[in-house]
Structure 1
């Protein structure tokens, strides 16, 4: 069965307010086995709202509408729904009781304007709002069952989970489809390359819908499976996921869609390892990423933003002769930075970056986009040089930071003979 989502309000239509409601509703409806085929947004216009409700009523089986149930003159969704269904507005006693209870619990006098919220389309069913003054309602328009909910997110979420989803589940008894989504995060390939590698699987698994989501510089592979038999649907999805993991090998960060910093943090924590970071060109971005994860104090010990040559020498103990001979952007300098951070903090690992983020500062031998990295492990000191062709400073800084974290990720996977998931890196 298919579903649609409609958001109303000039603030949403104009972009003044981000429509987070639709994303939450879509996930809940998909989890309930519905296929969400369309999201629509209209402003506070009676004709626009009633027209789109009629359109949805001719297409969908279920629809969730948010916004426009308040007491003010621009809250016109209930009136538009009545027009679309060809019925009158009337005072709904259950809705009036909901409004009155809201004010009584707060020991406040009801505003006459709030009584407007009890005016619902004739024949609709009032949906209690346990945390707000605006009752929702359910009604048929065309072939579609509509659920009208407030636009306030915490009110909408409460009513959706406690009232709407249970009603949908009951109506789907015996005919429900199961919708299951997998999200596999990857790093190290372009979106086009990921797509090209997936083409054979798209043909092999006709029952799976594949999608890509680029959140630079990660690429997430989304797999959507739908079927009437839950076990068979899960089995098909697991088979497809296994093929994806095998194809991308160590480019896979997580089969649960976890980010680079979460994966690295889990690997450090699981191996009782600690890390210190010395950053030049990344300016603290690596440290920011690592410490954005709750519990990072278990493994993150020290960060030094040693931007100048002098700070590299005085803080990290990089030899002046090394910088004089090779320059700040060189593997030898990066290696000494990593060793210095590791020694200073007494950690298991030391990680460093030194490069040219641009857009100025590059030379023929060391162009914008070059970055050198050092990785000090319990047994070795490794140096790396990478060249990226971005001319955007922030993109360069971000790809530098991710690449550095990917070095420690792969080091942990190889040295401890494990990955973030079973069967990877074969």
Structure 2
């Protein structure tokens, strides 16, 4: 099966918004063992839409079309598809009645423009949208089924899971068993990881891929067919062994998700004091439901005054060593932990850039500390020639990795291949 995607919208084409829908869809299909082989982004122009529908339908077996199903004048997907098919738009009475009930239930008036969403190409098969007012539909043109979905992310995701995937499974007999293992790393570049892993002899049906999403690089082991699935555990163990301390999680999207899984329901507690990371560590953990069971507090103590008055860092420590120092960050972590008697506390203080560095502490210098009931462990990492956002995200990942290692009873401060440190 040859799968393609057409993304619509001027705001996507011009870069005003990032097309997260396309990334999510491609990743979701890849985890099923189906690769998106071609993707096109087209603006809100009728003739351009007609052309791309007609052209790509000659090459693909199925095309997911995302966007352009709303009530406004620049939502042109249905009209363009009807024109590509040389057939009229016909009101779908079932969907009009659905919309009337939808608006009535919410005590909202249904505007005249909303009626547009009930008009589909004459040969279209309606696809239910259980969470919105824009129905999807599918049509056959040339060799391809074109499957239309709204651009609203949560509507797209639900329709793909509930409507699109069952459709292609049935239409294209996707019967091969598949299995996927994802291994998450930090602190090692993609080329270095490839050098470690490329000599592993992969059996037929098992492939290895890399996905860089800083601060992580993810290794995906995909097995298709029972023979490859049977071999997956042994290959995974070989990869684990070669990755060593670069490996920070399995089948997790981030190290924050790994920390959340280990702390949630554990009875342990965590406080966080952040300077250069500016709340990023706390924000990553709070994105998971249940984080209130372990996260006592997240403090952004950006100024020296807040470090002294909120965390109890001695002013003399700041005077003698500066804000970006092992001595200061250790006091920050100690103070954060003691405020609510948390089991653990993390602290960061650094020069994220692009300005503010000195010869002694250049941009990318970050001090990180972990406080426990038994003491404090600290380090300074050097992250030169990286953007402000990347310095912050790498620092957050290293801090969380220190906590992960502590929870596992491992050495907390370790060397990473991609940057230097001092402890």
Q: For this structure pair, what is the TM-score category when the shorter chain's length is used for normalisation?
A: 0.7 to 0.9
Contact 2:178 2:229 in 1 (8 A): no
CA contact 1:103–1:110 (8 Å) conserved in 2 = no
Number of the residue aligned with 1:243: 238
> CA 1:115/1:100 → structure 2, altered by over 3 Å: closer, same or farther?
farther
From 197, 218, 221, the counterpart of 1:220: 218
1:296 alignment partner, one of 287, 291, 294: 291
Residue from 268, 271, 279 that aligns with 1:273:
268
More deviation, 109-118/327-336: 109-118
Q: Which residue of 2 aligns with 1:423?
A: none
CA gap 1:378/1:169 in 2 versus in 1, 3 angstroms: same
Number of the residue aligned with 2:48: 48
- SS of equivalent to 1:212: strand
- The answer to whether the Cα contact below 8 Å between 1:99 and 1:135 also exists between their aligned partners in 2 is no
Aligned equivalents of 2:228, 2:110: Cα separation in 1: 53
Contact 1:275/1:300 (<8 A) preserved: yes
Name the SS for the 1:167 alignment partner: helix
Specify every segment of 5 or more residues in structure 1 that has no aligned partner in the other structure, as ranges.
Answer: 418-426
Alpha-carbon distance between aligned partners in 2 of 1:155 and 1:282, rounded to the nearest angstrom: 33
1:8–1:65 contact (8 Å) kept in structure 2: yes
Alignment match, 1:176: 175
Q: How does 1:216-365 map to 2 (within 5 A)?
A: 216-225=214-223, 227=224, 229=225, 231-269=226-264, 272-307=267-302, 312=307, 315-319=310-314, 322-323=317-318, 325-365=320-360
Q: 1:400 to 1:179 in 2, by over 3 A?
A: same
Query: 2-side partners of 1:21 and 1:63: how far apart?
Result: 14
CA displacement at 1:63 relative to structure 2: 1.9
TM-score w.r.t. length of structure 2: 0.78
**2:265/2:294 contact within 8 Å kept:** no
Q: Cα distance, 1:143 vs. partner?
A: 1.9
For residues 114 and 320 of structure 2, the distance between their equivalents in structure 1, rounded to whole angstroms, comes to 78
CA positional deviation for 1:401: 3.0
Report the count of equivalent residues.
408
Instruction: Provide the residue aligned with 1:396 in structure 2.
Output: 391
- Give TM-score scaled by structure 1 length: 0.77
- Cα deviation digits, residues 29-48 of structure 1 (max 9, x gap): 55665432122222233433
Q: Shift in Å at residue 141 of structure 1?
A: 1.9
Q: Provide the residue aligned with 2:167 in structure 1.
A: 167
SS, match of residue 405 in structure 1: helix
Decide which structure has the larger Cα Rg and report it: 1
Quickly say closer, same or farther: Cα 1:377–1:135, change in 2 above 3 A.
Answer: closer
Separation of aligned partners in 2, 1:66 and 1:311: 48
The aligned runs of 1:65-84 (5 Å cut-off) are 65-69=65-69, 74-84=74-84
Any idea what the Cα deviations from partners look like across 1:33-87, whole Å, max 9, x if unmatched?
Answer: 54321222222334332332233222222222234455666554445435545x4
8 Å Cα contact 1:34-1:179 kept in structure 2: no
Q: Partners of 1:23 and 1:144 in 2: how far apart?
A: 22
Compared CA separation, residues 245 and 124, structure 1 to 2 (3 A): same
Q: Which moved more, 1:54-63 or 1:124-133?
A: 124-133
Q: What CA deviation, in whole Å up to 9, does each residue of 1:296-317 have, x standing for no partner?
A: 3333334555555565555545
On the 8 A contact 1:329/1:371 being kept in 2, the answer is yes
The answer (yes or no) to whether the contact 1:50–1:83 under 8 Å persists in 2 is yes
5+ long unaligned stretches in structure 2: 413-423
1:94-130: per-residue Cα shift (whole Å, max 9, x none)?
Answer: x244324533665678959947954524x44444556
Aligned residue in 1 for 2:417: none
Asked whether the equivalents of residues 98 and 135 of structure 1 are also in contact (C-alpha less than 8 Å), the reply is: yes
Q: CA offset at residue 279 of structure 1?
A: 3.9
Asked if structure 1 preserves the Cα contact closer than 8 Å seen for 2:206 and 2:228, the reply is no
Q: Give the Cα–Cα distance (whole angstroms) in 2 for the partners of residues 49 and 26 of structure 1.
A: 21
Q: Which residue of 2 aligns with 1:64?
A: 64
Cα distance in structure 1, aligned partners of 2:126 and 2:285: 48
Q: How does 1:125-204 map to 2 (within 5 A)?
A: 125-127=125-127, 135-153=135-153, 156-157=156-157, 159-173=159-173, 176-178=175-177, 180-201=179-200, 204=202
1:2/1:367 CA distance change after superposition, 3 Å: same
Query: Which stretch has the larger CA shift, 271-280 or 245-254?
Result: 271-280
Question: Secondary structure of the residue that 1:204 maps to in structure 2?
Answer: coil
Is contact 2:265–2:293 with CA below 8 Å preserved after alignment? no
**1:113 and 1:345 mapped to 2: Cα distance?**
53
Q: Which residue of 2 aligns with 1:420?
A: none
1:71 and 1:117 in contact (8 A); partners too:
no
Match of 2:3 in 1: 3
